[in-house]
Structure 1
Amino acid sequence: MAEEDSDSGRRPWGDWVVTFATLAAPTTFFGALLLYFGFAYTDALYAHFGVDAATLGFSTQDYALRSAGALYVPAGAALTVALAGVLVYYVARTLGNRGAPLPPGSRLAPYVVSACGLVMFVLGVLGGFAVWRAGAMDTPLLIGGGLVLVVFGRALSFKLRGADYPVARERLALALVAALVGLSCFWAVHAYAKRHGADDARYLAGRLWLRPAVTVDTAERLHFPPRQVRETALPVTGPPQRFRYRYEGLRLLAEVNGRMFLIPEDWAETGGGVLVVPADGAVRVAFHSG
């Protein structure tokens, strides 16, 4: 009896541990995905300006926040497709349980869906092996979407007959399909985050006036290619001052870890690089709009 009481006394703690592990594992996994997609977006964005994301040194919180813009469209599209699939699934189940004759062509529809999925899967595999010129998102979307349609068509065929699905002999295959679909989703979202970052970079490069204008005063002369920035020698009359040169025509690209990444406002026309200056007493910085 004492042993049973001891076991029962330990069960609540065991339940708490199981509950915490159940909640923490998905949260950790989802957080890791946010960081990864945020890094992919940030890396593509700043690579357009010749800056590596690792050089910037963003925090994990920065990457997580930047991942939101790259996930809205994929998440919204996936949820919309899932909602449509659920509605079609329930319609097929209702027709199968009703026992009445099915509408003409309804028994053929699941096989058409599965056939379309098989064609998509084959095209995705061929695109992955560069048999045809597939885009960055084409291969994962075709492979994952094709597998989903194959399974969805088979499930519809069972439900239209009033049978249960999945059957026991197909559960291992369904587990492998689920793993491949999950991998394809990860692949597609990563490709979308990279493309979204590159698109935002091109948009920003043509509209650098959206970024804050920066005036920098320095003690030593800086080198810029001709006609990229406006240099002014500060007057030396009056009380001695440390700053001798003023540079205008710069825009703030990013400010991270006490460093400012400055870019010429006509970067899109003249090209050039990105100036990194410390955000401390070594320079004097003034921000203004316009």
Structure 2
Amino acid sequence: MAEGDVGTGIRPWRNWVVTLATLVAPTTFIGALLLYFGYAYTDALYEHFGVDAATLGFSTQDYALRSAGALYIPAGTALTVALAGVLVYYAARTVGSRGTPGPPWLRLTPYLLSAGGAVLFVVGMLGGFGAWEAGAMDTPLLLGSGLVLIVYGRVLAFRLADAAYPVARERLALALVVALVGLCSFWAAHAYAKEHGDDDARYLAHHLWLRPAVTLDTVERLYFPPGQVRETRLPPSGTPQRFRFRYEGLRLLAEANGRMFLIPEDWATRGGSVLIVPANDTVRVALSPG
């Protein structure tokens, strides 16, 4: 143990633990947020067709991959704002380290940020209680961004004064802020995922030709609304023919856990049910491009 560590009583592995926790905590939070978004998006998408997401049985990897495409714009926006906040923080620290007071407008800026955050938080609370007609994402975004601005303004005020933020003194308050911001993040993610899933479901319902066309051969006859699916009775061949009926006019909605979810291609105009077919030798399936 180094002499400085003996004098201060700081264990040599403490900095490593702090660094590891700093890296793991945000990564775990982001991973959980991605999985939650993927599940909420998938649930909203297939609920439009009358299929519960739990019935599909997707894996956590499936949910994470399904969330990636829809998060480019919001994730890019959040990272850009975070980068701007970090740059402003380092600029404030540089100004504060000079030891000379900056211009009045600069010293006033952190308090304006905190005041603006307080206003956003109050507006979000009023929207949550129905005082004004808030959208699905308005309330969590206002609450979360308001809390972040309040704390960020205080941090900048201390940095401009070349003083350290009193983390130990405000530990409980900061913990509550982090918990509330995390809650608002999941709240906003759910609202955005549901809205995005509903939009994609409506688009897919009117563009089912984008999905693979399915020709399904079965042993027993299936029953669909008249004229919705083309049924053909297969003629007997020289060899024993197990499959007696062929159905066309179906599209592959999803495939998971050895099951295919088939939907009539005119579902948007005529409605109908989603057919769940096992992907085994009890049926014969041919897929073709939409």
Confirm or deny that 1:83 pairs with 2:83.
Answer: yes
| Alpha-carbon distance in structure 2 between the residues aligned to 1:116 and 1:157 | 15
Where structure 2 has 5 or more consecutive residues not aligned to the other structure, the ranges are 1-12
2:4 matched residue in structure 1: none
| Alpha-carbon distance in structure 1 between the residues aligned to 2:26 and 2:100 | 43
Describe the shift of the 1:62–1:287 C-alpha distance in structure 2 as closer, same or farther (beyond 3 A). Answer: same
**1:272 is matched by which residue type in structure 2?**
G
What is the DSSP-based 3-state SS (H/G/I as helix, E as strand, rest coil) of the residue aligned with 2:169? helix
Contact 2:33 2:189 (8 Å CA) reproduced: no
Residue 187 of structure 1 and its aligned partner are, at CA, apart by 1.8
TM-score, normalised with respect to structure 1: 0.83
| Alpha-carbon distance in structure 1 between the residues aligned to 2:24 and 2:141 | 29
1:109 matched residue in structure 2: 109
What is the DSSP-based 3-state SS (H/G/I as helix, E as strand, rest coil) of the residue aligned with 1:42? helix
1:222 matched residue in structure 2: 222
Residue 198 of structure 1 and its aligned partner are, at CA, apart by 2.1
Residue 25 of structure 1 and its aligned partner are, at CA, apart by 7.7
1:3 matched residue in structure 2: none
Describe the shift of the 1:101–1:34 C-alpha distance in structure 2 as closer, same or farther (beyond 3 A). Answer: closer
RMSD: 2.8
1:85-131 deviation line (CA, Å, top 9, x unaligned): 11112222222223445235222222221111111101111122222
Describe the shift of the 1:87–1:28 C-alpha distance in structure 2 as closer, same or farther (beyond 3 A). Answer: closer
1:229-263 deviation line (CA, Å, top 9, x unaligned): 22222224655522222111111011122211101
**Which is worse superposed, 244-253 or 72-81?**
72-81
**1:180 is matched by which residue type in structure 2?**
L
Confirm or deny that 1:234 pairs with 2:234.
Answer: yes
Residue 24 of structure 1 and its aligned partner are, at CA, apart by 7.8
1:165 matched residue in structure 2: 165
TM-score, normalised with respect to structure 2: 0.83
Contact 2:114 2:154 (8 Å CA) reproduced: yes
| Aligned residue runs from structure 1 range 132-211, under 5 A | 132-166=132-166, 168-211=168-211
| Alpha-carbon distance in structure 1 between the residues aligned to 2:218 and 2:174 | 65
**2:200 is matched by which residue type in structure 1?**
D
Describe the shift of the 1:220–1:108 C-alpha distance in structure 2 as closer, same or farther (beyond 3 A). Answer: same
Describe the shift of the 1:45–1:220 C-alpha distance in structure 2 as closer, same or farther (beyond 3 A). Answer: same
What is the DSSP-based 3-state SS (H/G/I as helix, E as strand, rest coil) of the residue aligned with 1:222? coil
User: Equivalent pairs: percent with the same residue?
Assistant: 76
| Aligned residue runs from structure 1 range 8-19, under 5 A | none
